[in-house]
């Protein structure tokens, strides 16, 4: 999995571009009208399609107060060769993954649609622990990386508000939520070398918002969409060790840049 850490500037640029595109007044472009493709497309009571997307999975981490002062011993650190250990810091490292899904769109009125987009999302996140190890009256600060791979079955439900159509382009905004199941959450906690795996809860609920642009072609509608998902639940499984006890809450964040074909 390719590690990318400059995704936030890219997302900000996309948001700015989408905002500028949405601010264009149809009246100001009245003299540039073209032939309208799929003129009756938005009058259909329902339609279907699919999405292909690139996601970035992240964490929101809230640590317990005073976690750096707590010492952990052998039973709580079986994969560390130490008399005692202290956690000094915890960070997360995101990676890019991909998403595929099916679009089901129900027309409510001229400006509103109800969308159900069951999807599969694949990705990976790393938790990086800075641990101070005490052994034989010596101290050493070491970095320990825990990989958390996820395969989400996602069941999102959105309200889609559509702006005015200009020729063959129409902006829209999304708001809604989703329920997700992480099929990779039941990984083993230990292997034969006593390496501890940090495990996540299987179920999560997200609040979502996004924006996009639909392009009407001769035969189908193509869309570009940027969506943000914020997990509402604590998803970390407490295992009584240095990797989970200092964390008060661990929740998910996801960014999705997708392309829709309807």
Summarised one tens digit per residue, pLDDT across range 87-134 is: 888 998 888 999 999 999 999 999 999 999 999 999 999 999 988 888
Report if residue 41 sits inside a domain: no
* Number of independent structural domains in the chain: 1
Looking at residue 93, which CATH number applies to its domain? 2.40.160.20
* Residue 170 within a domain: yes
For 135, list phi and psi in degrees, rounded to 5: -150, 125
Predicted pLDDT of residue 56: 94
* Alpha helix (H) residue ranges in the chain: 7-22
Lowest mean pLDDT across 11-20, 21-30, 72-81, 99-108: 21-30
Any domain includes 40: no
Q: What percent of the chain has pLDDT over 90?
A: 52
The domain in which residue 178 lies consists of 7-24+47-261
Q: Are 53 and 154 in contact (CB under 8 A)?
A: no
This prediction has a pTM of 0.79
DSSP state of 192: T
32 phi/psi in degrees, rounded to 5: -115, 25
Which 3 state secondary structure label does DSSP give 20?
helix
């Amino acid at each position: 999995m390719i590690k990318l850490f400059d995704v936030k500037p890219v997302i900000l640029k996309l948001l700015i571009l989408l905002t500028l595109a949405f601010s264009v007044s149809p009246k100001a472009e009245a003299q540039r009208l073209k032939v309208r493709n799929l003129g009756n497309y938005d009058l259909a009571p329902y339609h279907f399609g699919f999405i292909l997307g690139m996601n970035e999975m992240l964490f929101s981490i809230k640590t317990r107060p005073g976690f750096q002062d707590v010492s952990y011993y052998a039973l709580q650190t079986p994969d560390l060769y130490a008399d005692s250990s202290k956690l000094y810091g915890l960070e997360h490292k995101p990676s890019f993954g991909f998403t595929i899904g099916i679009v089901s769109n129900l027309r409510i009125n001229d400006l509103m649609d109800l969308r159900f987009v069951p999807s599969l999302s694949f990705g990976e996140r790393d938790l990086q622990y800075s641990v101070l190890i005490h052994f034989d009256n010596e101290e050493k600060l070491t970095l320990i990386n825990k990989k958390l791979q996820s395969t989400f079955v996602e069941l999102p439900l959105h309200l889609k508000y559509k702006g005015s159509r200009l020729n063959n382009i129409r902006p829209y905004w999304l708001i809604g939520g989703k329920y997700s199941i992480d099929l990779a959450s039941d990984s083993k906690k230990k292997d034969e070398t006593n390496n501890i795996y940090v495990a996540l809860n299987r179920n999560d609920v997200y609040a979502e918002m996004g924006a996009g642009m639909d392009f009407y072609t001769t035969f189908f509608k193509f869309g570009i969409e940027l969506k943000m998902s914020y997990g509402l639940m604590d998803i970390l499984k407490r295992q009584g060790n240095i990797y989970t006890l200092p964390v008060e809450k661990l929740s998910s964040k996801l960014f999705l840049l997708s392309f829709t074909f309807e």
